[in-house]
Amino acid sequence: MKKNKISKNWINKQRRDIYVRQSKVDGYRARSAYKLIEIDEKFKIFKGGLSVIDIGAAPGSWSQYALKAAKSGKLISVDLKKMEPIGNSVQIQGDFTEEKTQEEIKKNINGNVDVVMSDMAVDTTGIKNIDSIQTGELCKEAMFFAKDLMKDNGYFISKIFMGGTFNEIVAEGKKYFKEVKVFKPKSSRKDSKESFIICRKIR
């Protein structure tokens, strides 16, 4: 009974959500596209010809926007789940935290990349501090991987949860990058602890 009630609440929430409705109009696979759009509007990241790696890409709305905004650039989308194809992007199915998946990404790169972005998060437990720590570990792993593949003035974008590891991740970002900002888009749900860390210019 409780599960049905939660499920019904979620459906009602989705119906009322303007970003869910807008994503259907604009042809995006998920409302999360608008988070990246807001990040781009604020930080002016995407332009024609960029090379982009999207980690934790499924269902693909960030990749959709990146491909549209980067125009003739190269896009590599990585996720545990199989995704519907997106334009002429390279899709890699696998666990990003495994070495073989990271090697597969590297094989598909020709030179350093302009943007590495990650909307990865663990399946939430509902215990906010545990969720924050586990998603924080994914963010750190993505950051560590990105710093060796990016152009000097490239961008790293990642989901980050407010909580136990927040300050540690920001400090880690400042170790590798000259510019580090934290931003919460309006399209993030009000009850969500998520923000996004935007890092630029490799040290």
Tens digits of per-residue pLDDT, 52-108?
999 999 999 999 999 999 887 899 999 999 999 999 899 999 999 999 999 999 999
State pLDDT tens for residues 109-129: 988 999 999 998 766 656 566
Domains of the chain: total: 1
**Nearest residue to 51 via CA among 101, 96, 112:** 112
**How far is the first Cα of the chain from the last one, in angstroms, to the nearest whole number?**
54
On whether residue 3 sits in a domain, the answer given is: no
Query: Rounded to the nearest 5°, which phi and psi values hold at 99?
Result: -60, -40
On whether residue 6 sits in a domain, the answer given is: no
Choosing from 68, 159, 175, 186, which is the catalytic residue? 159
On whether residue 11 sits in a domain, the answer given is: no
Residue 49 is part of which domain span? 30-202
Looking at residue 3, its pLDDT comes to: 47
State how far the alpha carbon of 13 is from the alpha carbons of 16, 23, 128, in Å: 5, 15, 21
CATH number of the domain bearing residue 103:
3.40.50.150
| 2 in catalytic set | no
On whether residue 19 sits in a domain, the answer given is: no
CB atoms within 10 A of CB 186: 9
Cα torsion at 85, 107, 199, 61 (round to 10°)?
0
Looking at residue 8, its pLDDT comes to: 52
State pLDDT tens for residues 81-91: 999 999 989 99
Looking at residue 124, its pLDDT comes to: 62
On whether residue 63 sits in a domain, the answer given is: yes
On whether residue 111 sits in a domain, the answer given is: yes
On whether residue 53 sits in a domain, the answer given is: yes
State pLDDT tens for residues 150-178: 999 999 999 998 877 889 999 999 999 99
Looking at residue 10, its pLDDT comes to: 43
DSSP state of 122: P
On whether residue 84 sits in a domain, the answer given is: yes
Name the residue type at position 77.
S
